Chains A and B, each alone.
Chain A
């Protein structure tokens, strides 16, 4: 109940006339709210965004909320952005093993699975940050390099690979190279491309 007030009070303050903000930072605005109230708050944020042409930075752990309202998603793990992608691409084809793990461990209302695919272990203690990739200890795909070296955020192109697409698709892909929504994907994983190829061939 308190959270509702905390979350909506700043929103009310940015109504037109008060000032003209360009950015709304919503930090877990619906966490701890009941879902019917969450729906009200999300509706309010969407309305404000439309009316005021706001940019919204939505900070949340809820992949369902993100799917409904976000255009682009940056996934953080242990203090670092590990993946950044347009929302639809991220869910359809997660590039980072952590993103894939999160999606696998989230139960869905519309699909009943036998068993959730849990991420084993717990996040690292940041007082003793690991030398390599912070996710390596929990990652099913980690190799030696991952424990020794930190991967940086690099461009990830989720376009059809050579040999798997028709000619028509290839032409389309050329056009899409100029579309930042298609090419604006980055991921911090040494094995992202390799894993994607494995997935495609599987």
Chain B
């Protein structure tokens, strides 16, 4: 079952990147995951149920202690993949394993127990925290819900320690979220996610809504916490510069398909998929002479409609390399070099 799961080579040089060295144990495995959502009906009597093909046949693994960057544009399915691993969205087909255990059919009390070990950090620190609760209540709530603390007040010492670890002042516990800046609110969101000491965090665009000057603080915090607590991250973002900075490996999604997966240096230095190339060339580099000298591949059009994805390769409508074959046949994800996977006939 897991033989189709692309894992990794070990070419990441931690001395150079400052990222902790992941173990070889796979903490999370995603195998041939597909997710379709029903949408409105079409046809004269509305007899045809229409489906959004949000995620299609996606496989990858995440090693313990690793950060896997999951990159894609709006509509690529990256958030859906993250939610499915956390069992917040039901897959249409495929398997998810966590610590070697199949969790796709886990339900009830067992699912509740499982959720302690996998948590979500949200994009919007303004919308994700209940404004009526104090920071103590927000961070202690999961501890009480899961029976790790008898009451909110009994959890105070643990919460204060955790807030300190997340860079919040000592008196933060008794204030409400609106008393904090965006960066501090995201720290509160991170503290809440860490309260149950999870092994795995899905961070869904955790710094996208923050000011440039504050973004680096939160990125550094996430990296420090990974070092200290041995966390494993699925870091979902559209900003490739941030993703390259934090990730050991990067997976690139396009219209619900995994098009490339490799060590993050390899993705940057020798991208195989033409979409990855176009994406990299579109990310501006803050260096005027360099940026002006770069060759930019400007893709025409937009990501295809996920209700009626094009036949063959989903990128063929915008691909500079597309040929007849791409319009009939979907290229499989293949290992083009050790640990470097891509889905393109011509690369």
Contact B18 A107 (CB under 8 A): no
Contact B279 A36 (CB under 8 A): yes
The verdict on B292 contacting chain A, using a C-beta distance below 8 Å, is yes
Contact A39 B216 (CB under 8 A): no
Nearest A residue (CB) for B318: A36
Residues of B within 8 A of A114 (CB): 17-18
Contact B220 A63 (CB under 8 A): no
The verdict on A27 contacting chain B, using a C-beta distance below 8 Å, is no
Residues of B within 8 A of A64 (CB): 241, 283-286, 291
Cα separation A187 to B287 with both chains bound (whole Å) = 20
Contact with B along A8-42 (1 / 0, CB 8 A): 00000000000000000000000000111111100
With contacts A36-B279, A36-B299 known, is A118 near B217, CB below 8 A? yes
User: Which residue of B213, B279, B290 contacts A105 across the interface (Cβ within 8 Å)?
Assistant: B213
With contacts A38-B282, A105-B212 known, is A115 near B18, CB below 8 A? yes
Contact B245 A68 (CB under 8 A): no
The verdict on B46 contacting chain A, using a C-beta distance below 8 Å, is no
In chain B, residues 138-173, which have Cβ atoms closer than 8 Å to a Cβ of chain A?
A: none
Cα separation A91 to B292 with both chains bound (whole Å) = 13
Residue among B279, B283, B284, B300 with max Cβ neighbours from chain A (10 Å): B284
Contact with B along A108-151 (1 / 0, CB 8 A): 11101111111110110000000000000010000000000000
Contact A107 B244 (CB under 8 A): yes
Residue among A87, A115, A118, A123 with max Cβ neighbours from chain B (10 Å): A118
Contact B291 A115 (CB under 8 A): no
CB within 8 Å: A-B pair count: 134
Q: How many residues of B contact A (CB 8 A)?
A: 48
The verdict on B249 contacting chain A, using a C-beta distance below 8 Å, is no
In chain B, residues 280-332, which have Cβ atoms closer than 8 Å to a Cβ of chain A?
A: 280-292, 296, 298-300, 302-303
Nearest B residue (CB) for A122: B181
Cα separation A34 to B302 with both chains bound (whole Å) = 10
The verdict on A202 contacting chain B, using a C-beta distance below 8 Å, is no
User: Which residue of B215, B285, B290, B296 contacts A39 across the interface (Cβ within 8 Å)?
Assistant: B296
Q: How far is the CB of A58 from chain B (nearest CB, A)?
A: 12
With contacts A102-B213, A106-B212, A107-B245 known, is A36 near B73, CB below 8 A? yes
Residues of B within 8 A of A91 (CB): 286-288
Contact B216 A116 (CB under 8 A): yes
Nearest B residue (CB) for A73: B288
Contact B284 A62 (CB under 8 A): yes
Contact B244 A34 (CB under 8 A): no
Q: How far is the CB of A120 from chain B (nearest CB, A)?
A: 7
The verdict on A88 contacting chain B, using a C-beta distance below 8 Å, is yes
Residues of B within 8 A of A63 (CB): 212, 286
The verdict on A173 contacting chain B, using a C-beta distance below 8 Å, is no
Residues of A within 8 A of B184 (CB): 122
User: Which residue of A35, A65, A110, A123 contacts B213 across the interface (Cβ within 8 Å)?
Assistant: A123
Can you identify 20 A-B contacts, CB atoms within 8 angstroms? Answer: A35-B73, A36-B279, A36-B298, A40-B298, A40-B300, A63-B286, A67-B284, A67-B291, A68-B288, A88-B288, A91-B288, A106-B212, A107-B241, A109-B268, A114-B18, A117-B216, A118-B214, A118-B217, A119-B214, A122-B181
Chain B interfacial positions (CB closer than 8 Å to A) = 16-18, 73-74, 181-184, 211-217, 219-220, 223, 238, 240-242, 244-245, 265, 268, 278-292, 296, 298-300, 302-303
